[in-house]
Chains A and B, each alone.
Chain A
Amino acid sequence: MADDLFKALADPTRRTIIDELAEQSGQTLFEICSRLSMKHRLGISRQAVSQHLAVLEAAGLVETRREGRYKFHDLNTAPLRLIVERWLVPRTSEPEENTP
């Protein structure tokens, strides 16, 4: 889980996708692609965006939701708490290494 999270965050395009979903939740693939190309001038194919979304979804940062005939992507920031809790929250016990 932690590996997936850090891997997902390691890529600048994926961080941009997170920025955009933080601004507006519930986006179609088309909207995400539009934002990347028009706002950020990222020349990136729809297939590549789909792959980035799959990585974000595996890390639990993006959730997809079907509504009628459309599919929307929502941001889930809950996994980011792992980072805060691991280093920023004072704890009495020893930090746990989650990676195998």
Chain B
Amino acid sequence: MRILLTSVFVDDQAKALHFYTEVLGFVKKHDVPVGEKDRWLTVVSPEEPGGTELLLEPLGHPAARTYRDALVEDGIPLAQFTVDDVWAEYERLRGLGVRFTQEPLEAGPVTTAVLDDTCGNLIQIATQPE
């Protein structure tokens, strides 16, 4: 068994594609129309084009919004990505206008920070524990 794909629910797929590619730096992998307006839209890391895909999934179910908003209120991230240097990413992303709900926090073996993906979710970036 392998993890091929994971997903986040997004308010707006076009806006999400912009943020996840132009701002975070992922690249588009699949973009297939589904139904009238939805897309099967995935991105991958340019460092790992054959790696796990992130599906930017339309927020279709009303319960998904309730769940997501409750997590956001308490600052809980829905997904976590690994970076080499949290401080460097924090500075880079802040320069691009990204809103952080948690500034870089050095705790034990890892450094983490939490940002708003502008599509309704919080995302944690973290160094990989050695």
Using a CB–CB cutoff of 8 Å, the interface residues on chain A facing chain B are 24, 27-31, 34-35, 38-39, 46, 69-72
Contact = CB atoms under 8 A, between A and B. Distances in A.
Interface of B: 69, 72-77, 101-103, 105, 107-108, 110, 112, 114, 122
Given A70-B75, A71-B73, A71-B75, A28 B110 contact: no
A34 B105 CA distance: 9
B114 A28 contact: yes
B19 to A, nearest CB: 16
11 contacts: A28-B74, A28-B102, A29-B76, A30-B101, A30-B122, A31-B102, A69-B72, A69-B73, A70-B101, A71-B74, A72-B101
Nearest to B106: A39
